[in-house]
Structure 1
Amino acid sequence: MRFGNKVAVITGAGSGIGAAVAKRLAKEGAKVVLVGRTKQKLDRVSNEIVKENGLSYVYPTDVTDDQAVNQLKDYIQSEFGQLDILVNNAGSSGKSSIRDLTSEEWQRVQDVNLKSVFLVSKTLSELMLEGLKRDRSIVNVASLSGHKAGARIPHYSASKAAVINFSKALAAELAPHVRVNSVSPGFIETPLTEAGLQNERFQSAIEQHTALGRVGKPDEIANIITFLSSSEASYMTGSDVLADGGWLIT
């Protein structure tokens, strides 16, 4: 198993990409700590992992809150004494023209999509720098929208572009001890995209514009994150992996 005796923290682990990553890492031997706001969702994912003989720990919290993230660090330190993999996946979206976008909505998206990445990375990387030398990895989930901005999502596009650049800056600072990369998914079937994809016209437009002709699956992004988290990606840091089904080449 690639991740035997390793500890992984996944934020936004209650559904979508985060849940898929947690299941995959656990299947390959990692002890996975599921982090998110809603305990019920985390419990559901954890139960699925346990049924497959995986090791799963549920930790509901708010990753935009300084004190809460410090408490998460203390929990990991006392429970495991190490941290090898961090996947910052917590995210939020919403649509609004710039004329209608409120300061409160702008800040909410920045807090969930960007502040949480900064705060969790800053706090938990202290654990990753401790102890014996081993392969340690942070993977931040950005978005296609961080490469190509879209109308009515200025707050989301801005936050995800910042995640990409923050990941590069963090990679430079934590090298050579911790590798840091980001992944930029295109349109993926997750709770964040569910409402839009229920519109057949919208889904058809996405499929026509995507070179591969379809919407992506959470497991496909989990495959990439699993690779980046493993020693197979030992010479990768400061990279952003665009997984958009060929959206930008059409």
Structure 2
Amino acid sequence: MTRFSQTIAVVTGAGSGIGESTAIRLASEGAKVILVGRTQEKLELVSNKINEASKHTVAHIFTADVTNEDDVNNLATFIEEKYGDLHVVVNNAGGSRQSKILETSSDDWDFVQQTNLKSVFLVSKALGNLMVRGIKTGIEGQERNRSIVNVASLSGYKAGSHIPHYSSAKAAVINFSRALALELAPYGIRVNSVSPGFVETPLTEQGLQNESFQAAIRRNTALKRVGRPEEIANIITFLASHEASYMTGSDVLADGGWLIT
């Protein structure tokens, strides 16, 4: 499949989990992928895996903290200077801490909000502007599929008393995506989000080692299992592709049937 031939794509949080699977899937379908994250060693492992499989250098790494505006602006400059254009952005970086509202420190609140929401804003702003410039300076009649996909969460629908900062941030990501979709629609840039349920990632690894937690997931999920990163990557790549050309401002809930039980 070559749905992303001649496509330049950025994936944040690309060092593991959903980000890694998404980067691998995009590259396998022809995209040149910029892997973004804070840990260079993890990014290098993913980059090597992609480049060895493709027999070409199609994955590049850019170490950055996407909650830092200078880092994000430097990322935009790097892409513009190296490629001159950008077509797909996947905002996947995220993280969480656990605490009840009455016990949550301001530092923990700020960390989770910045990691999950501010990062999406900063990346969407800087790289969205780059996409718009690419459209304005492009060759007439050679319109390209351009798309932003933001990774939200089941927690954006179903609040958790132990993760109030994460739940509120992910709910905001869903509505931020809708607002951005309205703003970028005149340029033909689509913006959607995907809300995974419980997926096997480093974020959920510790919890999934607890048998009672696993039992609760099986009991409350219609499909009676956790998801796999590649299953969410499949949805992200669909939303980013021209096959979803009439979708913008949508959120795809991929929770194994949690909300219907």
> TM-score, structure 2 length as denominator?
0.95
Letter of the structure 1 residue corresponding to residue 197 of structure 2 = G
SS in 2 for 1:247: coil
Letter of the structure 2 residue corresponding to residue 134 of structure 1 = R
Give the equivalent residue in structure 1 for 2:21.
Answer: 20
For the pair 1:160 / 2:163, whether they are aligned, the reply is no
Query: Deviations for 1:117-156, whole angstroms, at most 9, x for unmatched residues?
Result: 0000001011111233311000000000000101211000
The percentage of counterpart residues that share the same residue type is 64
Query: Deviations for 1:185-219, whole angstroms, at most 9, x for unmatched residues?
Result: 00000000000000011111101110001000000
Of 212, 226, 234, which residue of structure 2 is paired with 1:223?
234
Letter of the structure 2 residue corresponding to residue 158 of structure 1 = S
Distance in 2 of aligned mates of 1:82 and 1:113:
26
Give the equivalent residue in structure 2 for 1:7.
Answer: 8
For the pair 1:208 / 2:209, whether they are aligned, the reply is no
Distance in 2 of aligned mates of 1:164 and 1:99:
25
Distance in 2 of aligned mates of 1:23 and 1:68:
24
Letter of the structure 1 residue corresponding to residue 122 of structure 2 = L
Give how far 1:11 is off. 0.3
Distance in 1 of aligned mates of 2:226 and 2:17:
13
Give how far 1:41 is off. 0.5
Give the equivalent residue in structure 1 for 2:112.
Answer: 109
Give the equivalent residue in structure 1 for 2:151.
Answer: 141
Stretch of structure 1 that moved more, 204-213 or 236-245: 204-213
For the pair 1:191 / 2:202, whether they are aligned, the reply is yes
Q: Which runs of 5+ in 1 are unaligned?
A: none
Give how far 1:88 is off. 0.2
Distance in 2 of aligned mates of 1:41 and 1:22:
13
Distance in 2 of aligned mates of 1:6 and 1:181:
18
Distance in 2 of aligned mates of 1:96 and 1:2:
42
Q: Which runs of 5+ in 2 are unaligned?
A: none
SS in 2 for 1:248: coil
Distance in 2 of aligned mates of 1:83 and 1:207:
40
Give how far 1:6 is off. 0.4
SS in 2 for 1:162: helix
Letter of the structure 1 residue corresponding to residue 258 of structure 2 = W
SS in 2 for 1:10: strand
Distance in 2 of aligned mates of 1:207 and 1:16:
21
Letter of the structure 2 residue corresponding to residue 166 of structure 1 = F
How many residues align? The count is: 250
Distance in 1 of aligned mates of 2:240 and 2:193:
11
Query: Deviations for 1:52-79, whole angstroms, at most 9, x for unmatched residues?
Result: 1151000011111111111100000000
Distance in 2 of aligned mates of 1:105 and 1:150:
16
Give the equivalent residue in structure 2 for 1:49.
Answer: 50
Distance in 2 of aligned mates of 1:234 and 1:98:
40
For the pair 1:94 / 2:97, whether they are aligned, the reply is yes
Distance in 2 of aligned mates of 1:203 and 1:43:
32
For the pair 1:119 / 2:122, whether they are aligned, the reply is yes
Stretch of structure 1 that moved more, 164-173 or 46-55: 46-55
> TM-score, structure 1 length as denominator?
0.99
Letter of the structure 2 residue corresponding to residue 57 of structure 1 = H
Distance in 1 of aligned mates of 2:105 and 2:195:
26
Query: Deviations for 1:10-52, whole angstroms, at most 9, x for unmatched residues?
Result: 0000000000000000000000000000000000111110111
Give the equivalent residue in structure 1 for 2:255.
Answer: 244
